[in-house]
Amino acid sequence: MKLYDCASAPSPRRVRMFLAEKGIAVPTVQVDLRGGEQFTDAFRAINPDSTVPVLELDDGTRIADAVGICRYFETAHKEPPLMGRDAAEQGVVAQWQRWAERDGFHAAMEAFRNATPAFKTHALPGPDEYEQIPALAERGRARVARFLERLDARLGHSEFVAGPRYTIADITALIAVDFAGWAKLKPPESLAHLRRWHGGVSARPSAKA
């Protein structure tokens, strides 16, 4: 088994954090995203979508998606559960994970990729060329600001994002908050619940994975 990874990128960090919380070690292969290795024929033979993370199992099966990889490990290594325990909790965790991804991580990506010169012709991840849209960078910034406020409100009456336990929703939300920082969208100091939570989840060993 091996994980195609890029130590500096937020998407594979989601998987590395998940594995660290599970206590699982998987050999990694670093893909040089800055150097454009994801667009080479060699890497596109591994993942035509030109993205990391990709998990390759010993039988050759590949899972080319961060949450798909987490789902694999959640089923293969049940403890500790990070995607909910019973059916209802699993549904609620999925809801919050997807909210943090859509309104947080993807919004931050809109803000960052539509305004950063290196992504001039690659405003979306993947092999296709899409020009930057300045209005989309601006919309992304507005969405991130709202996401941070709502995350703070949620954390005012919930210890973690999806409820009383640490889950994949916290991983996605942490990646979203930290990635928003790349677009210079730091949470305002006034968001005290968010600051409390961010300090706590950032201090876990998994945050360094």
Q: What are phi and psi of 77, to 5 degrees?
A: -135, 90
**Among residues 2, 80, 120, 128, the one that binds its own copies under rule CB under 8 A:** 128
Binding mask 62-91 for its own copies (x = CB under 8 A): -xxx-xxx-xxx-xx-------x-xxx-xx
**Among residues 29, 40, 139, 149, the one that binds its own copies under rule CB under 8 A:** 139
Smallest distance from its own copies to CB 202, Å: 26
**Among residues 37, 49, 149, 178, the one that binds its own copies under rule CB under 8 A:** 49
Tokens standing for residue 84: 């909910």
**Among residues 98, 120, 184, 186, the one that binds its own copies under rule CB under 8 A:** 98
d(CA 121, CA 131): 4
Long-range pairs for 198-207: beta carbons < 8 A, 24 or more residues apart: 198/174, 201/166, 201/170, 201/174, 202/174, 204/21, 204/166, 205/20, 206/16, 206/17, 206/18, 206/20, 206/21, 206/171, 207/17, 207/174
Q: Are 181 and 111 in contact (CB under 8 A)?
A: no
Smallest distance from its own copies to CB 148, Å: 14
Q: Contact residues for its own copies (CB under 8 A)? A: 49, 55, 57, 59, 61, 63-65, 67-69, 71-73, 75-76, 84, 86-88, 90-95, 98-99, 124, 128, 130, 133, 135-136, 139, 142-143, 146
